[in-house]
Chain A
Amino acid sequence: MLGTGIIKGLATTAKNFAGSFRDPRRFVTVQYPEEKAPVTEGYRNFPFLVFDAEADPMGTLRCVACRICEKECPPQCIYIVPAVDEKGKPRKHPHVFDLDISVCMSCQICVEVCPFDAIKMDQTFEIAATDRFRGLLLDKHQLARSNAHFQRIHPTEAAEVDARLAEEKRQAEEKARAAAAAKAARPPAAP
């Protein structure tokens, strides 16, 4: 019959209209600044630098300023100057670690090449700045996040990384102990 489709459609919208007053759960809208939709574990946007001790972020940065990520970064958004002591010897610590997130393309290559698990991908997306040059150029203090933060945002990856680091540490200690034992067992060589 002519027009029944229109009546059916009108009934559907009327049902939605009335239902939205009765049951607020029908709303699909997330009221963004007040409430946020949870991000999935696989979500990533920009890198951050991992440190271990909450008390001393700069002292316990895992980064050793090897500059592999700087070399591998496709858009070249990382700039590193290694720290040196008074004699000019590198101190295995970044003096400058700058990352321009206006250039970064979130490819995660820096994370994949890092041999020290020192750089990981973050999930913070509220990073709007009023100055697009200095506001989006982050230094090592702004980039540093604790390992606890890493465990919170990427639990699976963090557990795997922590287990591997612990295992490496245990092996290194064993090796050191064995070396020390061997050194103690062997009689001092005759001069």
Chain B
Amino acid sequence: MSSTSPVDPLLERAPLLVRDWVSGLFPAPARGLADALLAIAAVILGFGLLFTLLTLVERKALGRMQNRPGPNRTGPFGLLQPIADGIKMLVKEDIVPEAADRPLHFLAPVVLVAFTLVAYAVIPYGRHLLPVDLDAAVLFFFAAGAATELAVFMAGWSSHNKYSLLAAMRALAQLISYELPLLLAVVPVVMLAGTLSTSGIVAAQGRWSFGLVPHWYACTPWGAAGLVIFLIAALAEANRSPFDLPEAESELIAGHLTEYSGFKYALFFMAEYLGMTALCAMAVTLFLGGWQAPCMFLQVVPSYVWFGVKLAAMLGLFIWIRGTLPRLRMDQLMRLAWKFLVPLALLNLGTAAFWRLSAGWEALPAQLLRWALALLLVLGPAAVIGRRLSARVGPRTYRYAAP
């Protein structure tokens, strides 16, 4: 096991150099402000572009999963499709219901996007690329994420439409239910890293066994379980399939977005994708080593490239899941959260505690015993609870469908 701090190559420092050059154009007292504004602009531009690209990639990938080519009419390979969509959204009429609470109706999408973007402030994108290094960054991230639930209810309430309101309540029930396993899955990470700061958590994962096997938390039994729980909860938090009940487009009209049109609807859409990207970035930071390279010799590649690769892999996984799984029913959704994920996340806390207490078991037999015990602690409860949950719900039989 070794930990080295390699000398910063030029590529690693390139974003900082660019920032310093641009802020050097400003007078000295304004440089701090210029630095902050540049970081904000970079995040908004970068992730805005990623969002537009993601909508296209998602549609292309989903198409191929269903043996369709996907959008291919606008520009080469349909590359201009996001621009066409954006123009369409901008020129659409913005209808506000007569009885709507106008200020709230206007504020809901703004609040949603703002809180989603705020969460990006604490994610370390690279060795030197952390917009704000807070001591309680993890707490800040999930507080900002929880604030978006307010916007969902604002949208439902201000529309003055009973269906919107009901849908907002349903969405809220889902978001609050999955907030619990999401946070409980993160607690072990904080426990073992001993810090709430994201830079500290990434630094704690920056070691390799024999220079090849990374010490990411996902490579430990409790970390793998935590990552799976985190991903399931993140899917639900981001309103992604198979948990996209709040606006199940084939069953409801649009849930709490029923009364939104034009660019306000586009903002909700953008916030959904930005929220998904933020949660993926957080999963990378907490469990997959953030910007750390997977092997020691791969550190020659700049850290932000590794972060980008991991983020793309997570987003790809989300798209893959969307292309595969059918939507859950509301009761199945609640049962999964309260009877499966929350108990497992709580038990995972115990596993992580065991892992921390057994950190001193260095000898090989002790190591093996440690891994075996931890795996048992993770897989045993999952099997038992899973079996008990699925005991009375056997495979569904379709009486009138052809076998």
Q: Please give the residue numbers on chain A whose beta carbons come within 8 Å of chain B beta carbons, in ascending order.
A: 1-3, 6, 9-10, 12-14, 16-17, 19-21, 26-29
1/0 contact trace for B373-389 toward A, CB 8 Å?
Answer: 00000000011001100
Q: Is A28 touching B383 in the complex (CB atoms < 8 A)?
A: no
Between-chain CB contacts (< 8 Å), 5 pairs? A13-B65, A13-B324, A17-B64, A27-B69, A28-B67
Q: Please measure, in the bound complex, the distance between the C-alpha atom of A19 and the C-alpha atom of B386, giving whole angstroms.
A: 33
**Residue ID in chain B nearest A10 by CB atoms:** B324
Tell me whether A28 and B321 are in contact in the complex, defined as CB-CB below 8 angstroms, given that A2-B382, A2-B383, A2-B386 are known contacts: no
A contact patch SS: helix
A-B CB contacts (within 8 Å), total count: 42
Using CB atoms, name the residue of chain A closest to B66: A16
Q: Is B320's CB within 8 Å of the partner chain A?
A: yes
Contacts of B356 in A (CB 8 A): none
Question: Which residues does chain A contribute within 8 Å of B323, judged by CB atoms?
Answer: 13, 17
B337: min CB distance to chain A, Å: 16
> In the complex, how many angstroms separate the beta carbon of A27 from the nearest chain B beta carbon?
6
- How many B residues touch the partner, as a band? 10 to 19
10 extra interface residue pairs, beta carbon distance < 8 Å, beyond A13-B65, A13-B324, A19-B67: A2-B383, A9-B324, A13-B320, A16-B65, A17-B64, A20-B64, A20-B67, A26-B67, A27-B68, A29-B69
B378 to chain A, nearest CB (A): 13
The chain B residue with its CB closest to the CB of A6 is: B325
Q: How many angstroms from the CA of A3 to the CA of B387 in the assembled complex?
A: 11
Q: Which of A9, A10, A12, A21 contacts B64 (CB 8 A)?
A: A21
- Closest residue of chain A to B326 (Cβ to Cβ) is A9
Q: How far is the CA of A20 from the CA of B67 in the complex (A)?
A: 6
Find out whether the CB atom of B324 lies under 8 angstroms from the CB atom of A12.
yes
Contacts of A28 in B (CB 8 A): 67-68
**Alpha-carbon gap, A51 to B54, bound state (A):** 57
- Is B250 positioned at the interface, with any CB of A under 8 Å from its CB? no
| A-side contacts of B320, CB under 8 Å | 10, 13-14, 17
Report if B100 contacts A (CB, 8 A). Answer: no
B61 within 8 A of A: yes
Q: Is B324 within 8 A of A27, CB to CB?
A: no
Give bound CA distance, A26 to B69, whole Å.
10
Residues of B within 8 A of A21 (CB): 64
Alpha-carbon distance between A19 and B68 when the two chains are bound, in angstroms: 11
Determine how close the nearest CB of chain B comes to the CB of A157; give it in whole angstroms: 36
Q: In angstroms, how far is the closest chain B Cβ from the Cβ of A183?
A: 72
- In this complex, what residue of B is CB-closest to A23? B67
Q: How far is the CB of A50 from chain B (nearest CB, A)?
A: 38
Chain B residues with CB under 8 A of A10: 320-321, 324
Q: Assess whether B390 is interfacial by the CB under 8 Å rule.
A: yes
Bits for B51-94, please: 1 = Cβ < 8 Å to A, else 0.
Answer: 00000000001001111110000000000000000000000000
A21 to B69, CA, bound (A): 10
Which residues of the partner chain B approach A3 to less than 8 Å between Cβ atoms?
386
The 5 residue pairs across chains A and B that have the minimum distance between CB atoms: A2-B386, A20-B64, A13-B65, A9-B324, A13-B324
Q: Residue on B with the closest CB to A8? A: B324
B61, B325, B387: the one contacting A2 at CB < 8 Å is: B387
* A34 smallest CB distance to B (angstroms): 11
Bound CA span A17–B323, Å: 10
Complex Cα distance, B324 from A19, in Å, reads: 16
Interface string of B383-399 (1 = CB under 8 A from A): 10011001000000000
Contacts of A26 in B (CB 8 A): 67
Contact at A16–B67, with CB atoms within 8 Å? Answer: yes
CA distance in complex: A129, B229 (Å)? 56
B376 vs chain A, min Cβ distance (A) = 16
| A19, B66: Cα distance in complex, Å | 11
CB distance from A24 to the nearest CB of B (A): 9
A27 and B67 in contact, given A2-B382, A2-B383, A2-B387 (Cβ under 8 angstroms): yes
Task: List, in ascending order, chain B residues with CB within 8 A of A20's CB.
Answer: 64, 67, 69
Assess the B67–A2 pair: CB atoms within 8 A. no
Task: Tell me the nearest residue of chain B to A19, going by C-beta.
Answer: B67
User: Which chain A residue shows the least CB distance to B61?
Assistant: A17
* CA–CA, A16 and B66, complex, Å: 7
B390 contact set on A, CB distance < 8 A:
2
**Once the chains are docked, how many angstroms separate the CA of A32 from the CA of B57?**
23
- For residue A29, which residues in chain B have a CB less than 8 angstroms away from its CB? 68-69
Bound state CA distance, A28 and B69, in angstroms?
9
Q: Which residues in A have their C-beta under 8 angstroms from that of B383? A: 1-2
B380 smallest CB distance to A (angstroms) = 12
B61 surroundings in chain A (CB, below 8 A) = 17
Q: By CB atoms of chain A within 10 A, which of B64, B69, B390 has the most?
A: B64
On chain A, the residues within 8 Å of B66 by CB distance are 16
- Which residues from B are CB-within-8-Å of A17? 61, 64-65, 320, 323
Min distance, Cβ A66 to any Cβ of chain B, angstroms: 49
Q: Which of B325, B382, B386 contacts A9 (CB 8 A)?
A: B325
Q: Which A-chain residue is minimally distant from B383 (CB atoms)?
A: A2
A191 to chain B, nearest CB (A): 85
